[in-house]
Structure 1
Amino acid sequence: MKKILITCALCLFILLNGVAQSKKSIHLFAYFKDNGQDGLHYAYSTDAYNWTALKNDESFLTPTVSKDKLMRDPCILRGEDGLFHMVWTVSWKSNGIGYASSKDLINWSEQQFLPVMEKEEGVGNTWAPEITYDKKTKTYMIYWSSTIKGKFPETLLKKDDTNNNRIYFTTTEDFKTFSPTKLLYEPGFNVIDASIVNDNDKFVMFLKDETKEPIQKNIKIAFSDNLTGPYTTASAPITGNYWAEGPTSVKIGDDWLVYFDKYTEHKYGAIKSTDLKNWVDVSDNISLPKGLRHGTIFKIKKRELRKLQKL
């Protein structure tokens, strides 16, 4: 009788453990390497701390649009239509961004150039676009940073007159037609690399303060009740005494985990918080593929990972 009970208990433990393992989230990190010339790279993780490159860290998609044909800062979002939608930086100097979609993260649609800043004169760049979905309005917002010559002169540096960014946006329901481009965020300083996530119907924007004088180069946060704003004044820096950019976040239970590129040190960093106010540095606990540059983290299914692993 005791043997039967022990065997049953063991079976139950194995069963429950198997269920827990099957429910474990799989995260995919979409990123670029070097200058983005070879295209899209993936790494996966089951704990959001330790990442393994897929396909021997070879590119999954070669960039084809724009004169420079780069694929920097890839952002991928699983849409309500079941497709993965991706936007990226196509050039250091451009008035538009790249766009493509996929059913499986392997086979992508024809790459398109979206001239989101074409109606503005004196546009110097269109950097690090991202996509966030708004359940309330059932629309997608694409947003990025751009410098427009002559705007916001109060934060323009004479010795760096081509880098004075603000965050702009457009909305779409189908990635075919787009609303007129508008200003999304003007924090009173040079700002790039915005990344917005929905948290209990509130919107959290992680952003980089690009100010050079006095030096900032750190990650901050702003909040809004609506995806298209207005957003609050930027917080104090949440990153430390180093240059950081390209924030991307993931929430695991009550823990917020924000990854960012320590680009001058050629390595990655991460911080953790339960309240978006108090942050702990966990950079020593993460492991990433060598040469990974910033992109975005999102969840995928086990069967989707298996297909990627076969390549």
Structure 2
Amino acid sequence: MTLNKKQKNYMKRTLLNLVLFINIAFLPAAAQDSVYLFSYFVGNGESGLHLAHSKDGFTWNTINKQAPFLKPGLSPDKLMRDPCIIRGKDNTFHMVWTVSWTQRGIGYASSRDLVNWSEQKYIPVMEHEEKARNSWAPEITYDPREDVYMIYWATTIRGEFPETQVDADNGYNHRMYYVTTKDFETFSETKLLYDPGFNCIDATVLPYKNKWVMFLKDETRVPPQKNLKVTFADNLTGPYAPASEPITGSYWAEGPTVLEVGQTWIVYFDKYTERTYGAVRSKDLKQWEDISDQVSFPQGARHGTVFKVSQTEFRKLVKEIEY
């Protein structure tokens, strides 16, 4: 039987719809019910917390017409850079952020719905260290085995790690530090989390096969690296192994955030010198494919964090802000 053009187009559309139906039908129930959210800042961070959403992890659209969900209220600088949001064991969203270029502490707030936020709190994580120059890009990871949250960030302490000290990049020479908490009210003493032997920043840590994987930026300026690397540990607080070879390309990348979709890991990052976002993906955390040309983010989005909400939570969020 010979089909005409109209019949062929109809059959093609039917086949595509069938493939789409099968792909969706065999997704885990949690995946079908999920909406991915992305917390980020724009400009210098003076406007506050911004959110975008995606159903597939590739195309991201702003929520609330790019209006901020929370405006910064801490430190003389009143900045809200590098906002990291996670859902806690109490089903509350916990957020930390960079409050200033020079403060020795970080910001914290919590919310049940991402619209109404608690009072902003300053956590003085490095105030005890007079030679600390900053506290940048904090993140939170929860360890269910120990029932504890780890908050970690990058700090330069004058005189520390002289073997990697250079004058470039204003002389910053970061390492990763951390505190732990169970309630975001009391905190452990600050400790060194990771010294990979180079200037590093922008770490993010996730569970991986009963271990932990850390993605971080090699901030080395001379000779320039400015790329992302990976390291692993048996325990959340380390010790972490030597860092891998770069997983990103010849461009400069920072602010990694990670989404696990099925068996695939997608690492998004800020291509900050190109003023755009990029991504790489892997199934084994060893071989990486650059998929920067397949992702799109809101214009001006900077250094954010990806997390999941349910369809119901997303509908409530949109309804509450009358988007």
Q: Which runs of no fewer than 5 residues in structure 2 stay unpaired?
A: 1-19
Query: Structure 2 counterpart of 1:291, which letter?
Result: G
Q: Distance in 1 between matches of 2:165 and 2:245?
A: 21
- The equivalent residue for 1:287 is 296
Q: 1:19 to 1:240 in 2, by over 3 A?
A: closer
Which of 245, 264, 270 is the equivalent residue of 1:236? Answer: 245
Which of 149, 152, 173 is the equivalent residue of 1:140? Answer: 149
Query: Structure 2 counterpart of 1:96, which letter?
Result: G
- Pairwise CA RMSD: 1.8
Residue 23 of structure 1: how far off its partner (Å): 2.3
Tell me the secondary structure at the aligned position of residue 67 of structure 1: coil
Q: Distance in 2 between matches of 1:160 and 1:46?
A: 38
Which of 93, 107, 112 is the equivalent residue of 2:102? Answer: 93
2:78 aligned with 1:69: yes
Comparing 36-45 with 158-167, which one deviates more in the overlay? 158-167
Q: Distance in 1 between matches of 2:290 and 2:139?
A: 25
Which of 276, 279, 292 is the equivalent residue of 1:270? Answer: 279
2:124 aligned with 1:118: no
> For this pair of structures, how many residues does the alignment match?
299
Q: Distance in 2 between matches of 1:19 and 1:281?
A: 27
Q: Deviations over 1:53-91 (max 9, x none)?
A: 100111000000111010000000100111110000001
Contact 1:24–1:46 (CA<8 Å) still a contact in 2? no
Q: Deviations over 1:139-166 (max 9, x none)?
A: 0000000000110011101355640000
Q: Distance in 1 between matches of 2:81 and 2:148?
A: 24
Please report the TM-score for the alignment, with normalisation by the length of structure 2.
Answer: 0.89
Q: 1:19 to 1:105 in 2, by over 3 A?
A: farther
Which of 78, 83, 87 is the equivalent residue of 2:92? Answer: 83
- The equivalent residue for 1:9 is none
Structure 1: which 4+ aligned runs deviate by more than 4 Å? 13-22
Q: Distance in 2 between matches of 1:233 and 1:154?
A: 17
Please report the TM-score for the alignment, with normalisation by the length of structure 1.
Answer: 0.93
Q: 1:122 to 1:286 in 2, by over 3 A?
A: same
Q: Which runs of no fewer than 5 residues in structure 1 stay unpaired?
A: 1-12
Q: 1:15 to 1:257 in 2, by over 3 A?
A: closer
- The equivalent residue for 2:195 is 186
Alignment of 1:1-311 (within 5 A): 23-160=32-169, 162-310=171-319, 311=321
Q: Deviations over 1:95-147 (max 9, x none)?
A: 00000000111100000011100111211110000000011110000000000
Tell me the secondary structure at the aligned position of residue 56 of structure 1: helix
Contact 1:149–1:162 (CA<8 Å) still a contact in 2? no
Q: Deviations over 1:182-224 (max 9, x none)?
A: 0000001100000001123211100000001111000000100
Query: Structure 1 counterpart of 2:85, which letter?
Result: I
Q: Distance in 2 between matches of 1:220 and 1:80?
A: 29
Q: Distance in 1 between matches of 2:308 and 2:290?
A: 23
